[in-house]
Chains A and B, each alone.
Chain A
Amino acid sequence: MLSADADSGLREGESFLAELAADLTEDGRFGIRHVRVSESAVTVTNEAGAIILNVPIADLEEAKNASLVSGGRLVLRTKSHEDIVAASYSLTRAQAFGELARGIQQLAKGEEFNVNLVQQKIRCDKCGRLLPEKDGVCPNCINRGKTMLRLGSFLKPYKKKAILLGVYATGSTALALLPPKIQGEILDAFNAGNREIGPLMQMVGLWALVLVGLASIQVLSGRLNTWLGSNLASDLRTTTYRAIEFLNLNYFDKKPVGAIASRVTQDTDRVWFFLVDGLPFLVINGMMLVAVAAMIFSINWLLAIMILAPIPLVAFISVKVWKPISNLFFRTSQKMARVHMHLNESLMGIRVVKAFAKEDNEYAKFKTRSEELRNANIKADQTWHTAFGGMTLCVTLGTVIHWAVGGTMLYRGQLTFGEFYMIHAYLGMVYGPLQWFASVNNWFSRAMAGAERIFEILDTKPESALDGGDVRKITGQVEFRDVRFGYDKSNPVINGVSFTAKEGEMIGLVGHSGAGKSTTINLVSRFYEPDQGQILIDGIDYRELDLRSYRNQIGIVLQEPFLFNGTIADNIKYGNPDATMEQVMEAAKAANAHDFVLMKSDGYDTMVGERGARMSGGEKQRISIARAILHDPKILILDEATSSVDVETERKIQEAIQRLIAGRTTFAIAHRLSTLRNADRLLVLDRGKVVEEGTHEELMDRKGRFYDLVQTQSAVNEIIGIGTV
């Protein structure tokens, strides 16, 4: 360990290449230590900025991120074999320090410092809150007005209906104000000594008409609102789904499928729920509040001020109480989920439970969880009833004030009996809905956050040039010209690969896991494009080709074939929906699938189940081969197509594959090296580079990397007794 002469640990004219803050001190307490890396040294400073460690790069042999429990440490190994712990950190910083260690290692080896220290954002820059998804949207800081406006743009196709809905809302508010007014008029007429039945009946008739009108508007507006909200949600859902289909695969690498799927389902549901239930509630009751306040003010402003005074109190309590209560109900739902989880688990594992005679233990666990649910339920419901009681008291407070103050005014003749009654009726119309305003705010927040997450997908750049570019029939010659690629650009997985696959040639890709085999076929499929170098198809850079047309000429048979829920025939003609039944059967015969399909009760109409669950592994494999045969691709990708099936099925699949590859340029990956005997050429990959190339025999004679791989596999197979390669 060396101490630094300069304050910064830098040499003259030198700058830092990277700087990271570790969040643990040398004695394991929470605190900040700054680790800075320059071309010449690794320097660590404490919170006061004093250098506590300075290790020259020239002295280093290795740098690594040593994993610990709940954290890690940056260990620098010197050429004299000392291990220096440069910094300790929690898991929050471990990933970044892993990258930094890689960068220091590069410097120690005399390579260029090339790391990616940009971490995915997990907290909001503005408010510091945790984001629900990494690099996602902060539900607290979204511009709700802007999001609402953008959501409104989806209303464009339904503009007239939206306006009509607004008219209905205004109409129903106006009509709802009339009955108390009519009732007040009747009472005032009675008080004035009027005992004629005719005018009374006229007023009651008017009242009945208003009620019919109000009910009609409510029915129409409810129906229209449901139609509009559902259409809007459906448009959002399909637009989002369409956008997801064309997202670059990088996006799927970063986000879990569940999180992406929830954008289409949960987020659109939240928006839908708000549009159908929340928004109308807010608009109608908001308008009602204003209108009622105006009516009461028009009758008597002093009384209005007094009886509306508790409104802010009700609103305040509603906001304050809603959160803890919703937390309690959230807890109840969590406890319910625990009960469900235990129930599912114990029922699915009932054989194991019985075999070990552990019924009593499972019962005890279930009872505990059930009691936890009971307690959470009691607490939530009791709190809810207590809070609701308090709220009801506040609500009735307005009425009590009205009876006290308004009653006095009535006695003193400052208010007519009709006016007194009208105010009483109006109060009932506003205080009730006020209790729910706070929950509407919550729906609104959730809906806007959901909408924002949807817009995030819509705004993500789609795959390059899906349409556009050269549409041409390819012959199938594939050339890699010094291709370099990394899923994370600082960490290349393919590192300068060059080869040419001639039209109709079968290329076997061989290597340890992580050697770059799957990445090579991902690049051929153009799921990703090279960071450097070119991939040429028939001598043309494939980025100039129309992506859709290019993909139409590629066929893929995966290790775990994916079948869609539908019939066997639907799955075989997935790539060619217009294929005839004869063509489907022809492909199935070539794939050795025809016979087993016929043995099924519904033949080609047999439903394969979700992800093909009702088919065996070998059946799924042959259906997927038939699908590829019918698709008639020029370039074919086989990824370990014969693993995990019995010998007879494997023979049938091999036969099918031989028919499939005839006349097509084929890239095949197989861990069982014997299955690649028929390949025209094998490329042995190691750490992203082609290290050997030749036929199976040539490579065996050469006794190089491939030979070693075969020997290792033979030894392993002998041990586990599945025969030698």
Chain B
Amino acid sequence: MHLFYAPEGRLRLTMDNRSYVEVVLAWASPLTYPGKYLSFLDGKGKEIFMVTDPVVELAPEVWSVAQGELQRRYLNGVVHKVLSTKTEFGSTYWHVITDRGEKEFITQSLQENAQWLSPDYLLIIDVDGNRFEIPNISGLDEKSKQILSVTV
């Protein structure tokens, strides 16, 4: 199996004497099983194959290219620290530090847009549909936890 960009910018997969152009990588269950069930799709959106545990099942060079592509495709922010929140007129203004840097965003209707995936895992969707994950609330600093407990 060979995963590479050819021409530049277009992901290509060759395996079993076949070549697939414009390959798309997609997690089947990114929130419940992060890092598991990685699917490889062809240019028409048809699944070529799926690996349950890519770290174990993919060759290191393939996994390395796949990781780069996944980083580009999944633009969710993982929140490391909640600096502040402010609720006014039904909107909540967030100021956080994520794995992609510092970010301010706004949410409305927290009942629908702050989803508890588990007692310790919160997914927040802002007004534009951007997603921010807090996968391990108990691992956050005390101030962040205190702000979260008041906000959501």
A30 CB within 8 Å of chain B = yes
Docked complex Cα distance between A70 and B78 (Å):
12
By the criterion CB–CB under 8 Å, are A75 and B9 in contact? Answer: yes
Known A84-B8, A122-B127: A90·B88 in contact at CB below 8 Å: no
By the criterion CB–CB under 8 Å, are A91 and B72 in contact? Answer: no
By the criterion CB–CB under 8 Å, are B72 and A69 in contact? Answer: no
Stretch at the interface among B32-40, B51-59, B106-114, B138-146: B106-114
Docked complex Cα distance between A71 and B102 (Å):
17
Q: Would you list which residues of chain B between 95 and 126 have a CB under 8 Å from chain A?
A: 98, 100-103, 106, 108, 110-111, 126
Known A30-B103, A130-B106: A24·B9 in contact at CB below 8 Å: no
By the criterion CB–CB under 8 Å, are A69 and B73 in contact? Answer: yes
Docked complex Cα distance between A68 and B129 (Å):
12
Q: Mark A66-97, 1 if CB is under 8 A from B, else 0.
A: 00111101010000111111001011100000
Known A68-B75, A83-B7, A84-B9: A91·B110 in contact at CB below 8 Å: no
**How many whole Å from B67's CB to the nearest CB in chain A?**
12
Residues of A close to B111: CB separation below 8 A: 334, 337-338
Name the one of A90, A338, A445 contacting B130, with C-beta atoms under 8 angstroms: A90
By the criterion CB–CB under 8 Å, are A70 and B131 in contact? Answer: yes
B128 CB within 8 Å of chain A = yes
B89 CB within 8 Å of chain A = yes
Chain B, Cβ-Cβ closest to A341: B111
Docked complex Cα distance between A490 and B54 (Å):
45
Residues of B close to A354: CB separation below 8 A: none
**How many whole Å from B78's CB to the nearest CB in chain A?**
11
Secondary structure call for the B interface: mixed
Q: Mark B63-81, 1 if CB is under 8 A from A, else 0.
A: 0000000011111110000
B29 CB within 8 Å of chain A = no
Residues of B close to A85: CB separation below 8 A: 9, 72
Docked complex Cα distance between A494 and B93 (Å):
42
Residues of A close to B8: CB separation below 8 A: 82-84
Secondary structure call for the A interface: mixed
Docked complex Cα distance between A129 and B98 (Å):
22
Docked complex Cα distance between A338 and B98 (Å):
29
Chain B, Cβ-Cβ closest to A89: B75
Residues of B close to A30: CB separation below 8 A: 77, 98, 100-103
B91 CB within 8 Å of chain A = yes
Residues of A close to B129: CB separation below 8 A: 70, 91
Name the one of B72, B76, B131, B150 contacting A88, with C-beta atoms under 8 angstroms: B72
Residues of B close to A334: CB separation below 8 A: 110-111
By the criterion CB–CB under 8 Å, are A73 and B72 in contact? Answer: yes
A449 CB within 8 Å of chain B = yes
A327 CB within 8 Å of chain B = yes
A9 CB within 8 Å of chain B = no
Docked complex Cα distance between A75 and B101 (Å):
24
A139 CB within 8 Å of chain B = yes
By the criterion CB–CB under 8 Å, are A69 and B108 in contact? Answer: no
Name the one of A28, A82, A132, A324 contacting B75, with C-beta atoms under 8 angstroms: A28
Known A68-B72, A83-B9: A449·B131 in contact at CB below 8 Å: no
B87 CB within 8 Å of chain A = yes
Q: Mind listing 16 A-B residue pairs with CB under 8 Å?
A: A24-B100, A30-B103, A70-B75, A82-B7, A83-B7, A83-B10, A90-B130, A91-B128, A92-B128, A129-B89, A129-B91, A129-B93, A130-B127, A132-B90, A140-B89, A327-B150
Closest 5 CB pairs of A and B: A83-B9, A71-B75, A70-B75, A92-B128, A30-B101
